[in-house]
Structure 1
Amino acid sequence: MRVIAHRFPTSGPSDVSGLAGLLDAGELRAQDILAVIGKTEGNGGVNDFTRELAMRALGDLLTPQLGCAPEDIEDRVVLSFSGGTEGVVSPHLLVLARTGEALAAPGEKKRLAVATGYTRAFEPWEVGYRPMIEETARVVRELMQQLGIDDPADVHLVQIKGAIPTVDEEQRTEAEAEGRPLRCDMVGSRAASALGVALALDEAPADRIGDRAVCHDWSLYSTRASVSAKPGLPRSEITLFANSAWWEGDLIIEHGVMRDIIDLDAIRGVLARLGLEAPGQLAPEQTERLVGIFAKSDADPRNAIRGRRHTMWTDADISDMRYSRCVVSALLAGLTGETAVYVSTRAEHHGPLGGGPVAIIARVP
């Protein structure tokens, strides 16, 4: 079994011509596609409809070949999009597929392995609380088992589209009357899902990861979660990336964690572990080895970076999300020479407060 990956630039959110060309040429089968992850040029907020447009275009392309109804496409392929391509970020799609047969025995070298899965549907009062944390952890562990992963250290990225089920006014009133305020929003979904990854990967003590920790105990976090959340989504969709001896191919993945959004050394460390070192920007032949670049970013809520005040949270003209995405994307592009980077905000319990995880997929030389 091996992962094959194709990255396509897009001329707009609905541009799926690159993928369509591969499918038409018979170089890729729709049945083998596991996930499509991409950046679209919207605002990255709740009203960013470029993500929906991209998903609709992919559904129109893939459903005839998969033989399923458009509304069932996300049961077959994980479609995960992040809006916001500020600065140098180039809109793109990363298509991940699986091909080949399972190995009869583990190989000498570990190679990229990818698995996708879904949590059960959540009730609105479960989002942001222990049930969501535990269910996320359960699915992450299940995906590790599918890939033959025994050591959590072999997991380098857990990409999640977090659930935000629809809440009616009666449910909201009942929850508040019971003294359990609803966290059924983007913040609660991102935070609890990230802590679920931390629980599954033994990144924090299990007895400390509970309801009270969510968005309060910032010492608890995952260095490998990357969660966006979608209003109206009843369940979470999870894509796990690891290096496994049971998989072959020419792709590997590594990760690191930035202590803040100007942490160049963390990015250089990830590149070094991939065998990509340079005194400045990577050379063109090194850049060509890069397949996927992922990061989480956040404007530090303490309003300072390394002791200096920042104004990302107090600027009434530009969202803090757009600031932090732009900064981290520029660092990644400047070091790697690649502008097709996937940077998502915000980062509750994703790395230390004000920082965030970084993961990079590359081809082996």
Structure 2
Amino acid sequence: MNCSVIRVPSRSPNDVAALEKYIEQGKIAPQDVIAVLGKTEGNGCVNDFTRGYAVMALKNFFANYQKETTSPISYVMSGGTEGILSPHFTVISRKGALSKDSVKQERKSLAIGVARTADFLPEELGRLAQVDEVAAAVKHAIEEAGIASAADVHFVQIKCPLLTAEQVQDAYGRSKSTVTEDTYKSMGYSRGASALGAAVALGEVDREALQETDICGTWELFSNVASTSAGSELSYCEVIVFGNSAYAEGPYFIAHDVMKDAIDAASLRRLLDAHSDCEMVQVLAKAEADPTGYVRGSRHTMLDDSDINHTRHARAVVGGVLASVCGDPMIYVSGGAEHQGPSGGGPVAVIFKRSE
């Protein structure tokens, strides 16, 4: 297995010109693409249709290469490029696959697995049913990637659905209740349940002890590597697991740390310093407004702003902090970190490329 990652700038959610150019130049082989992780310039909220617009444009684009593409491509679009975050697509490719004939390498390299859950009913979102489905999908993706240990998993990206008013009414029409009637709050519940699903799969949270009320309730439970993003453009969860495996080869690998709060620049600096002899390919991170209303003893107003949602504030803050460290605004920063890292913080990972 040989995995690679390349960033492609976009001028709009449907802009595939740079992607087409990279394919023509031989930088990307469309038959090897297994996933596209994107940042689109919408509001990142319930009515952010730039996510679905981008997915539609990418699906139409890759349809031209359908005969060459060996398996369905996973699309994960995260809305919101507040501040200096630059809209772009991260194109993930993989040659080969794990088999009984796979030979262990002397060093571990980037390994990526993808999976998806079944469609969810409205009443299942934000509840243990979603936790269990996601946990199973994460385990499947880990196995597909040939990652031997949870310690070798460094980032789990999950795209999950949200509730619309129509779906809430559908559930009530069948005498079912939803976790919330607030469509915006449903994004948090879906992200939180998905993150806990990853935590269960990785042994970070005990499933037997987990209660439904823990979802977006017990913040001491979290994953150090999960990143989840909710959107209205899908009814299931897309799962992309990034890790290192001895059954993978190539110059790429991934490492992670955990931001303790939104201004924890040291977390990314530690990663870059530890691998200063390697090229930084992409930064992947979660952003969150501290629910206490304070950061390092000083009050913030992100949670009280009625004009701009706190997830948008958080993306702008964390995007600026991390870009100032790595010197590049074309990084993946997603907002809303329920059960994704410690309360007020979140995971940060870097994909590196070795020089040799």
1:261 aligns with 2:262: yes
What residue is the counterpart of 2:63 in the other structure?
63
Tell me the amino acid that sits aligned with residue 89 of structure 1: L
Q: 2:307 & 2:169 partners in 1: Cα distance? A: 32
Deviates more, 1:114-123 or 1:59-68: 59-68
Deviates more, 1:217-226 or 1:231-240: 231-240
User: How many angstroms does 1:333 deviate by?
Assistant: 0.8
Equivalent residues of 2:195, 2:228 under 8 A apart: yes
Q: 1:131 & 1:2 partners in 2: Cα distance? A: 34
Q: 1:320 aligns with which of 303, 310, 319?
A: 310
3-state SS of the aligned residue for 2:303?
coil
Q: 2:179 & 2:353 partners in 1: Cα distance? A: 48
User: How many angstroms does 1:219 deviate by?
Assistant: 0.2
Q: Structure 2: any 5+ residue segments left out of the alignment?
A: none
Q: 1:236 & 1:79 partners in 2: Cα distance? A: 10
Tell me the amino acid that sits aligned with residue 82 of structure 1: S
Q: 2:188 & 2:38 partners in 1: Cα distance? A: 21
User: How many angstroms does 1:181 deviate by?
Assistant: 5.8
What residue is the counterpart of 2:82 in the other structure?
86
What residue is the counterpart of 2:295 in the other structure?
305
Size of the aligned set, in residue pairs, is 347
Q: 2:205 & 2:152 partners in 1: Cα distance? A: 17
User: How many angstroms does 1:316 deviate by?
Assistant: 2.8
Q: 1:54 & 1:105 partners in 2: Cα distance? A: 38
Tell me the amino acid that sits aligned with residue 187 of structure 2: M
How many percent identity over aligned positions?
A: 39
3-state SS of the aligned residue for 1:240?
strand
Q: What per-residue deviation string (whole Å, max 9, x for no partner) do you get for residues 155-214 of structure 1?
A: 0111111133662525226224xx976798212210100000000111123333231210
Q: 1:97 & 1:180 partners in 2: Cα distance? A: 37
Tell me the amino acid that sits aligned with residue 45 of structure 1: C
Q: 2:125 & 2:45 partners in 1: Cα distance? A: 19
Alignment of 1:210-359 (within 5 A): 210-231=211-232, 233-273=234-274, 275-276=275-276, 289-359=279-349
Q: 2:266 & 2:29 partners in 1: Cα distance? A: 39
Q: 1:234 & 1:83 partners in 2: Cα distance? A: 17
3-state SS of the aligned residue for 1:243?
strand
Tell me the amino acid that sits aligned with residue 81 of structure 1: M
User: How many angstroms does 1:81 deviate by?
Assistant: 1.3
Equivalent residues of 2:52, 2:233 under 8 A apart: no
Q: Alpha carbons of 1:129 and 1:58: their partners in 2 closer, same or farther (altered >3 Å)? A: same
Q: 2:94 & 2:233 partners in 1: Cα distance? A: 29
What residue is the counterpart of 2:107 in the other structure?
109
Equivalent residues of 2:132, 2:197 under 8 A apart: yes
Q: Alpha carbons of 1:62 and 1:206: their partners in 2 closer, same or farther (altered >3 Å)? A: same
3-state SS of the aligned residue for 1:117?
strand
Q: 1:210 & 1:269 partners in 2: Cα distance? A: 35
What residue is the counterpart of 1:148 in the other structure?
146
Q: 2:32 & 2:211 partners in 1: Cα distance? A: 38
Q: 1:356 & 1:119 partners in 2: Cα distance? A: 24
User: How many angstroms does 1:47 deviate by?
Assistant: 1.7
User: How many angstroms does 1:80 deviate by?
Assistant: 1.1
User: How many angstroms does 1:132 deviate by?
Assistant: 1.0
User: How many angstroms does 1:311 deviate by?
Assistant: 0.8
Equivalent residues of 1:261, 1:324 under 8 A apart: yes
What residue is the counterpart of 1:196 in the other structure?
197
Alignment of 1:166-205 (within 5 A): 167=167, 169-172=169-172, 174-176=175-177, 185-205=186-206
Q: 1:263 & 1:180 partners in 2: Cα distance? A: 33
Tell me the amino acid that sits aligned with residue 48 of structure 1: D
Q: RMSD of the alignment, in Å?
A: 2.3
Q: 1:101 & 1:150 partners in 2: Cα distance? A: 15
Q: 1:127 & 1:180 partners in 2: Cα distance? A: 7
Q: Alpha carbons of 1:339 and 1:168: their partners in 2 closer, same or farther (altered >3 Å)? A: closer
Q: Structure 1: any 5+ residue segments left out of the alignment?
A: 278-285
Q: 1:333 & 1:309 partners in 2: Cα distance? A: 24
Equivalent residues of 1:295, 1:344 under 8 A apart: yes
Equivalent residues of 2:262, 2:345 under 8 A apart: yes
What residue is the counterpart of 2:119 in the other structure?
121
What residue is the counterpart of 2:72 in the other structure?
76
Q: Alpha carbons of 1:195 and 1:9: their partners in 2 closer, same or farther (altered >3 Å)? A: same
Q: 1:181 & 1:99 partners in 2: Cα distance? A: 42
Equivalent residues of 1:163, 1:229 under 8 A apart: yes
Q: 1:310 & 1:28 partners in 2: Cα distance? A: 43
Deviates more, 1:195-204 or 1:140-149: 140-149
